[in-house]
């Protein structure tokens, strides 16, 4: 699985929003369909996907090397049709060993598990992008107690996989405050975006375009309305894993002297969308291949 390829893949961060994405795709479902087709056409079908979602979590990274996976319906109170949906791709037990070796090489401790199953943050996305469920998937449990810099370092350790035909996918939400959705007056799915959400999403887009790693890592202090858009970090942390894998960088990272100095590489926002007026559905690509993917998607129907 560690054979190098001529054209590296980008690393991806996608927003999965509500579990209802699977039944009510809005503009994000069609985007994810184009994303899968665009990657296949531009880079070739990925050999495997390493996926991280906030809905599979542990105190430290856990590599789930089952031989086969299934859709886990890790939610309640939704329509029965949602629980009937399935997604059962092969797992990647051999890749699990490679991933653990890369993490160890980056000074990151991990454990292995043969547990099977993909949480909805993973399967709801992949079901649109690669509905055939024929690409092996290797989930890594997110460690939500670890700060953005640690997530970035984990992504950086996985960067060699992009040159081996393995896609690194972080699934979360660019904004995520369910209290704004399930309050006394629940907004409609197509409600106009609130000012605070737009300000946060555009700040992220600007910092990504500038390759400003320092600001992104310090988002709690620097991003507008950070606490409102993310009362807790878990749905935002997969962004840093994708950015780290893709090499988005800027000189001078306070507090993490052991992180490698990499040349500046700007990420690309591939999808700009909102649902319920405050739940951002943006998607980003990172790495040398990010711009090429953006160009490829422009030509994919």
Residues 6 or more apart whose Cβ sits within 8 Å of residue 6: none
Could you tell me the residue range of the domain that residue 86 belongs to? 11-298
Low-confidence ranges of the chain (pLDDT < 50): 250-265
Q: Give pLDDT, residue 296.
A: 92
Look up the CATH number of the domain holding residue 188.
3.40.830.10
Whether 2 is covered by a domain: the verdict is no
Strands, E, within 179-256: which ranges? none
Residues 6 or more apart whose Cβ sits within 8 Å of residue 176: 229, 230, 235, 236, 279, 280
DSSP state of 259: S
Strands, E, within the chain: which ranges? 11-15, 48-52, 62-64, 111-113, 137-141, 166-172, 268-271, 274-275, 279-280, 283-286
Q: pLDDT tens digits, residue range 121-141?
A: 999 999 999 999 999 999 999
Whether 6 is covered by a domain: the verdict is no
Q: CB of 98 within 8 A of CB of 143?
A: no
Whether 3 is covered by a domain: the verdict is no
Q: Give the C-alpha distances (Å, rounded to integers) separating 53 from 4, 175, 184, 194.
A: 26, 14, 29, 26
> What span, in angstroms and rounded, lies between the C-alpha atoms of 214 and 201?
17
Q: CB of 292 within 8 A of CB of 252?
A: no
Instruction: Count structural domains, the chain.
Output: 1
Whether 38 is covered by a domain: the verdict is yes
Using DSSP, state whether 181 is helix, strand or coil. coil
Q: Give pLDDT, residue 182.
A: 84
Whether 234 is covered by a domain: the verdict is yes
pTM assigned to the model: 0.93
Q: Give the C-alpha distances (Å, rounded to integers) separating 130 from 47, 140, 167, 212, 229.
A: 12, 19, 13, 32, 30
Q: pLDDT tens digits, residue range 67-105?
A: 999 999 999 989 999 999 999 999 999 999 999 999 999
Q: Give pLDDT, residue 1.
A: 52
> What span, in angstroms and rounded, lies between the C-alpha atoms of 206 and 285?
14
Whether 108 is covered by a domain: the verdict is yes
Whether 274 is covered by a domain: the verdict is yes
> What span, in angstroms and rounded, lies between the C-alpha atoms of 134 and 222?
41
Numbers of helices and strands, H then E, in the chain: 11, 10
> What span, in angstroms and rounded, lies between the C-alpha atoms of 144 and 58?
7
Whether 4 is covered by a domain: the verdict is no
């Amino acid at each position: 699985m560690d054979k190098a390829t001529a054209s590296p893949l980008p690393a991806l961060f996608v927003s999965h929003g509500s579990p209802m994405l699977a039944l009510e795709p809005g503009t994000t479902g069609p985007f994810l369909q184009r994303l899968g087709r665009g990657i296949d056409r531009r880079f070739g079908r990925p050999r495997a996907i390493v996926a991280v979602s906030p809905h599979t979590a542990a105190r430290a990274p856990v590599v789930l090397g089952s031989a086969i996976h299934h859709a886990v319906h890790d939610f309640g109170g939704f329509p029965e049709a949602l629980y009937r949906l399935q997604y059962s791709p092969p797992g990647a037990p051999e890749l699990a060993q490679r991933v653990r070796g890369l993490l160890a090489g980056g000074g990151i401790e991990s454990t292995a598990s043969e547990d099977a199953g993909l949480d909805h943050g993973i399967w709801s996305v992949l079901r649109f992008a690669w509905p055939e469920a024929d690409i092996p998937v290797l989930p890594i449990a997110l460690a939500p107690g670890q700060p953005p810099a640690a997530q970035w370092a984990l992504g950086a350790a996985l960067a060699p996989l992009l040159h081996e035909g393995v896609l690194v996918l972080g699934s979360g939400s660019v904004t995520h405050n369910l209290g704004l959705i399930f309050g006394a007056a629940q907004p409609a799915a197509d409600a106009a975006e609130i000012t605070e959400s737009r300000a946060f999403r555009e700040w992220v887009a600007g910092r990504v375009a500038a390759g400003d790693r320092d600001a992104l890592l310090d988002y709690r202090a620097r991003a507008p309305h950070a606490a409102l858009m993310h009362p807790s970090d878990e749905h935002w942390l997969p962004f840093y894993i994708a950015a780290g894998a893709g090499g988005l960088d800027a000189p001078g990272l306070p507090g993490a002297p052991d992180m490698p100095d990499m040349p500046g590489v700007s990420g690309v926002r591939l999808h700009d969308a909102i649902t319920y007026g405050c739940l951002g559905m943006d998607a980003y690509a990172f790495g040398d291949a990010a711009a090429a993917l953006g160009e490829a998607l422009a030509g994919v129907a």
